[in-house]
Amino acid sequence: MDRPFAITLDVKSSLANHTGAWRTERPVYVDRWPPCNEKCPAGENVQAWLYAAEDGSYEIAWRRLVADNPFPAIMGRVCYHPCETACNRAQLDRAVGINSVERFLGDEAIRHGWRLPEPAADTGKRALIVGAGPSGLSAAYQLRRLGHAVEIRDAGTQPGGMMRYGIPTFRLPRDVLDIEIARMLTLGIDLRPDTRVTDLRAELSDFDAVFLAVGAQLAHRAYIPAAQSARILEALDVLGQTAGGERPQLGRRVIVYGGGNTAMDAARTARRLGADEALVVYRRTRERMPANDIEVEEAMAEGVRMRWLSTIKHVGAGRLSVERMELDETGFPQPAGEVEELDADTVVLALGEDVDHSLVDTLPDVEIVDGVVQVDAQMMTGHPGVFAGGDMVPATRSVTVGIGHGKAAARNIDAWLRGAPAPVEPAREAATFERLNTWYYSDAPHAIRPRLEAVRRTSDFTEVVGGLDPQTALYEARRCLSCGNCFGCDNCYGVCPDNAVLKIDGAHGYAIDYDYCKGCGLCAVECPCGAIAMQPETS
């Protein structure tokens, strides 16, 4: 070849020079575990469904959501959203309103009539679910999706358990509950209401596996000296009757005794039933109150008053005496010796609920400790093939926890039915706030959900918290930082000085070209969401 004067070599591209050989660390795309997912008792993949919602793909988002939870519209109303408490965005401005977006998706699904995914092919296995509360329904849904035949038996006339009899309608309108349960049952689940299971041993021969989720509905017994004429009601009765459309007569001055969510719901219900004064009496301090903060705040906004560090000593007719308490050094309340008289037309007891475990009395290998049924890590009781979950096993009692139990039990039951080893959740690295490069995120204040004006919140049972309109739901979804999971911002592709990040079709949309990557780590540091890890080269 003819070359110019003094030129001995042909022009070559630097592409011949594989600078990847310099590398001591290599960038790797990872999916870290966002705090919202980690803290969701129902095990929802929150970040993944928010990702779909961010570009308005609400049906895709909803489908990701219902893989873990068949009740988004219920959940978006009654969940105490520990996901938002854990949300990394709270350290920037305010947590993402995950719960409000979930409700929006749930309501969208109802609006458009989206159907749940069809069950897998029949496996020929039969499972019995005892109890049609959140836990039982969740287990039934998941087992049916896996192709098992499912029969639910419930002592109540209508399904829903505590969602129907315990949660007031101003938090969960019953048509929402009915629609979401009915949608689930159309998958071919055999629901038998008004059917109490009394002897479990007798049922075992007809089924390959059993999931117990009868909940906790027995009002906790506590001895309170009371006059014959004193009017004392159980909170669960008040809530159940009210939810059923009755208006129990509570009088003008109502005292609710207890500090849990049931106490708050009972006090808020009392206000709506016409009580001018609803006073919660609780023996410890607000900090030690088991009720969720949201419930306490809503109750106080509705004029419910609180009397901390107090116990009821005696209930008379229209009056009761209350003793002031002090916390001792262990944090336990002790009587301080001061007694005060209060007026009260009705005392509503909300001192906790116990489990009716009589149905396992015929199964001696099912262990019961402190009144609750013991289960192993696979949610199985001591009796092979009998699983349990929800409020009847040791755990925080909430709808969300129940749904999580149902899902976890269903997956373990499925493995057990197939003779497969129990499914193991892979350990994942947490997507902590420190791993984010928050510089890139836009400032965006939290969207506030509309709330019913205060006057209506004490006069009728209209739902208190409203939903988001589509614009605001989209906005709120886009506030998600996508912690630990790539959201396609192109930073890695743009900041690599060596063009060693490629755009591809695939899970992450990007790939590292290790022929040229020098391992500088710029992509990892500039990744807003911490989805790139630097790993040492081994060879």
Partner 1 sequence: MTPAFLDPGSVEMTVQNVKFYQVGSRAVGNRLLDATLRTEQASPARRNALTSGHRACQGCGEALGARDVLDAAVRATEGKLVAVNATGCLEVFSTPYPESSWQLPWLHSLFANAPSVASGVAAALKAQGHDEIRVLAQGGDGGTVDIGLACLSGMFERNDDVLYVCYDNEAYMNTGVQRSGSTPPFARTATTEATGAEPGAPIGQGKDVPRIAMAHEIPYVATATVAELHDLEAKVERAMMMRGARYLHVLVPCPLGWGSAPADTVRLARLAQRSGLFPVFEASHGEVTEVLPIRGRVPIEEYLRPQRRYAHLFADPPRTELLARIQAIADRNVARYGLDEV
Q: Which of 368, 489, 511, 533 binds partner 1 (CB under 8 A)?
A: 489
Q: Which of 1, 4, 5, 14 binds partner 1 (CB under 8 A)?
A: 14
Residue 263's CB is within 10 A of a number of other CB atoms, namely: 29
Q: Which of 86, 296, 351, 520 binds partner 1 (CB under 8 A)?
A: 520
Which range, of 203-211, 246-254, 403-411, 486-494, touches partner 1 by CB under 8 A?
A: 486-494
Minimum CB–partner distance for residue 177 and partner 1 (Å)? 10
Q: Which of 29, 282, 308, 516 binds partner 1 (CB under 8 A)?
A: 516
Q: Which is nearer to partner 1, 90 or 489 (CB)?
A: 489
Instruction: Report 227-286 residues binding partner 1 (CB under 8 A).
Output: none
463 near partner 1, rule: CB under 8 A:
yes
Which range, of 117-125, 340-348, 356-364, 465-473, touches partner 1 by CB under 8 A?
A: 465-473
Q: Which is nearer to partner 1, 91 or 462 (CB)?
A: 462
487 near partner 1, rule: CB under 8 A:
yes
Distance CA 105, CA 108 (A): 5
Q: Which is nearer to partner 1, 48 or 408 (CB)?
A: 48
Beta sheet of 333-343, edge-to-edge order = 310-315, 319-327, 333-343
Which range, of 7-15, 281-289, 298-306, 374-382, touches partner 1 by CB under 8 A?
A: 7-15
Q: Which of 26, 45, 158, 173 binds partner 1 (CB under 8 A)?
A: 173
Q: Mark residues 60-99: x for contact with partner 1 by CB under 8 A, - for none.
A: ----------------------------------------
210 near partner 1, rule: CB under 8 A:
no
Q: Which two tokens stand for residue 140?
A: 């039934």
**Secondary structure string (H, E, C) spanning 252-316:** CEEEEECCCHHHHHHHHHHHHCCCCEEEEECCCCHHHCCCCHHHHHHHHHCCCEEECCEEEEEEC
Q: Which two tokens stand for residue 461?
A: 């049972």
Distance CA 80, CA 236 (A): 20
Which range, of 212-220, 342-350, 370-378, 470-478, touches partner 1 by CB under 8 A?
A: 470-478
Q: Which of 331, 515, 535, 537 binds partner 1 (CB under 8 A)?
A: 515
Residue 370's CB is within 10 A of a number of other CB atoms, namely: 8
Q: Which two tokens stand for residue 379?
A: 């949610």
Q: Which two tokens stand for residue 281?
A: 């009496």
The residue count for binding partner 1 (CB under 8 A) is: 72
Distance CA 283, CA 152 (A): 39
Distances from the Cα of 237 to the Cαs of 244, 249, 346, 365, in angstroms? 10, 12, 13, 33
CA-nearest of 508, 534, 521, 524 to 437 is 524
Minimum CB–partner distance for residue 174 and partner 1 (Å)? 10
Distance CA 73, CA 332 (A): 39
Instruction: Report 144-163 residues binding partner 1 (CB under 8 A).
Output: none
Q: Which two tokens stand for residue 375?
A: 């289960």
Instruction: Report 314-373 residues binding partner 1 (CB under 8 A).
Output: none
Instruction: Determine the distance from the C-alpha atom of residue 325 to the mean position of all C-alpha atoms in its chain, rounded to a whole number.
Output: 34
* Residue 460 CB contacts under 8 Å (≥ 6 apart), including other chains: 272
Q: Which of 38, 59, 237, 513 binds partner 1 (CB under 8 A)?
A: 513
475 near partner 1, rule: CB under 8 A:
yes
Instruction: Report 109-138 residues binding partner 1 (CB under 8 A).
Output: 110-111
What's the sign of the alpha-carbon dihedral 350, 351, 352, 358?
Answer: negative
Distance CA 17, CA 488 (A): 29
Minimum CB–partner distance for residue 507 and partner 1 (Å)? 14
What's the sign of the alpha-carbon dihedral 104, 107, 112, 118?
Answer: positive
Strand (E) or helix (H) holding 477: helix 470-478
Instruction: Report 48-67 residues binding partner 1 (CB under 8 A).
Output: 54-55
Q: Which of 297, 343, 376, 469 binds partner 1 (CB under 8 A)?
A: 469
199 near partner 1, rule: CB under 8 A:
no
Distance CA 518, CA 472 (A): 43
Q: Which of 472, 484, 512, 530 binds partner 1 (CB under 8 A)?
A: 472
DSSP-derived secondary structure letter, 234: E
For residue 535, the number of C-alpha atoms closer than 13 Å in the C-beta half-sphere is 12
522 near partner 1, rule: CB under 8 A:
yes
Minimum CB–partner distance for residue 21 and partner 1 (Å)? 11
- Do the Cβ atoms of 292 and 400 come closer than 8 Å? no
Pairing of strands 346-349, 353-354: unpaired
Distance CA 469, CA 475 (A): 10
Q: Which of 462, 507, 535, 537 binds partner 1 (CB under 8 A)?
A: 462
Minimum CB–partner distance for residue 233 and partner 1 (Å)? 29
5 near partner 1, rule: CB under 8 A:
no
533 near partner 1, rule: CB under 8 A:
no
Instruction: Report 429-458 residues binding partner 1 (CB under 8 A).
Output: 439-442, 444, 447-448, 450-453
175 near partner 1, rule: CB under 8 A:
yes
